Amino acid sequence: MSEHDGAPPIAGMKRSTEPATSAGPEETMPHVLVAGKLHPSGIALLRDAPEVTFDYVEEVSEESYAPFIAAADGLVIRTQPLSAPIIAQADRLKIVSRHGVGYDAVDLLALNGRGIALAIVGDVNSVSVAEHAMLLLLACAKKLLRADASVREGNWTWRNRLEATELSGKRLLIMGFGRTGRQLARYAGVFGMEIRAYDPYLQAAGWPEGPVAPVDDLAVGLGWADAISVHVPKAACPTIGAGELAAMKPSAIVVNTARGGVVDEAALLEALRQGRISAAGLDVFDDEPPLADHPLFGLDQVILTPHIAGLTAECAERMAISSVQNVLDFFSGTIDPALIVNKEQLNANS
C-alpha cells in the first residue's frame, strides 16, 4: 500500500505492503495512519478492508507519527498528544479516532477549527475499569501492601493489629455514574456495600432506574462515604481537591481510575500523611509515568498501578477493533453520531 519516498526511518514503525485490492487508483482510497501499537485484531480489520490503505507506527509518541500525518485522511491514535502544530500539517485529515474514551491529549479546538471529527470508542472498557476500581477498593481496605510486606519481612505479628477492614456494610460514593460507574455499583453491591452516586449532569438528564440513589450535594456525599471511586472527566481544576478531601472521614478510601489531575495529588499526599484519610488507590497520575522519587511511592497505604484499568487483553482487542471501525464507518457514512465528540461544532461549521 502507501509508501512515502524519502520518509525518515522510525523505530517501531510498520507499513502495509500489500497491493490495493479494490478497483480504481490507490490515490482515491482514504489513507489511514495508525499511531501507537494496536491489538492485532485492529490491524487485521484494516488489512482486510479493501477500501483503505494505511501506515502503522507502533511507537507511542507524537514525534514518531508526525512525518506521516500529511498523507492521512484518517488517524487512529493511542494516548500520545495530537497538538495544534501537527494538526496544521494534516491537510487531508477528516477523522481522528481515539483508542479509548478520553481525549485530554487531543487539541479539540484545533480539530474544530479545521472541521475534523473526533471519535471515541463506545462501551468497550467499562467492565475492565470497574473491575480494577473494585480491585483497588479491596486492596486498600485489606491493607494489601502492608500485609504482603509483613510476610516477606517475617513480621507475622502485624496481622494482630487488625488494620484490615471489610467492605461489606460500608458506604461507597461513585463520582460519575456512567457505564463504568454503574458497572462498579453492580460489583460493589455484591460485596454488600451501600451505594450512592454523584452525577449532576445525569441527574439533570434523568436518573436511571435502580437501587443507587443520587447525591445532590457533593460535600454531604463525601462526608457520608467510607469509600469514594472517581469516574469523571478531567476538568480545568481537580474535582477532588483539598476542600473535598477535608470533607471525608479519616477512615475514607479514595480510588481514581479516571484521569490524572482529577484528584489533586499534592492535596491527597498531605491528607494521607496527616491521617485525614485512610488509603488511596491510583491508576492515573498528573505526569505519566510518574518520576521515580514521587512522594506517594513512600506510602504503604497507597496502591499504585500503571494506568492499566482498561488494559486487559480482552479490552485492548475491543478498543482496537472499535477505534479502527470508527474510521471505516466514517468513510462509509455509517458512523454512530453518538461516538463523535464534536458533532455540534462540525454541524456549526458546515
Has residue 333 got a pLDDT over 80?
yes
Per-residue pLDDT reduced to its tens digit, 111-149: 999 999 999 998 999 999 999 999 999 999 999 999 999
Output the pLDDT for position 85: 98
Task: Read off the pLDDT of residues 75-112 as tens digits, 9 standing for 90 and up.
Answer: 999 989 999 999 999 999 999 999 988 898 999 999 99
Q: Which is more confident, 59 or 102?
A: 59
Task: Pull the grid cell for residue 136.
Answer: 483497588
**pLDDT for res 22:** 35
Q: Which residues contact 82 (CB under 8 A, 6 or more apart)?
A: 62, 75, 96, 105, 106, 107
Strand ranges in the chain using DSSP code E only, listed in sequence order: 13-15, 31-35, 53-57, 74-77, 95-98, 117-119, 171-175, 194-198, 213-214, 227-230, 253-256, 279-282, 302-304
pTM here is 0.82
Q: At what angle do helices 126-141 and 313-332 cross, to 10 degrees?
A: 150
* pLDDT at residue number 101: 86
- Cell reading at 29: 482510497
Q: Catalytic residue among 307, 314, 317, 318, which?
A: 307
Mean pLDDT value of segment 200-219? 96
> Is position 307 annotated as part of the catalytic site?
yes
d(CA 84, CA 122): 25
> Does residue 203 carry a pLDDT above 90?
yes
Is the separation of the CB atoms in 15 and 1 below 8 Å? yes
pLDDT in tens, 23-38: 344 457 899 999 999 9
98 is annotated as an active-site residue = no
Q: Which of 3, 63, 166, 288 is catalytic?
A: 288
Confidence category of residue 18, pLDDT binned at 50, 70, 90: very low
Choice among 2-16, 69-83, 287-301, 303-317 with the minimum mean pLDDT = 2-16
The one-character DSSP state at 73 is S
Q: Which one from 98, 132, 182, 259 is the annotated catalytic residue?
A: 259
pLDDT for res 241? 98
Handedness of CA 275, 276, 278, 280 (dihedral sign): negative
Active site residue 231: no
Look at the block and give the residue holding cell 479493501.
50
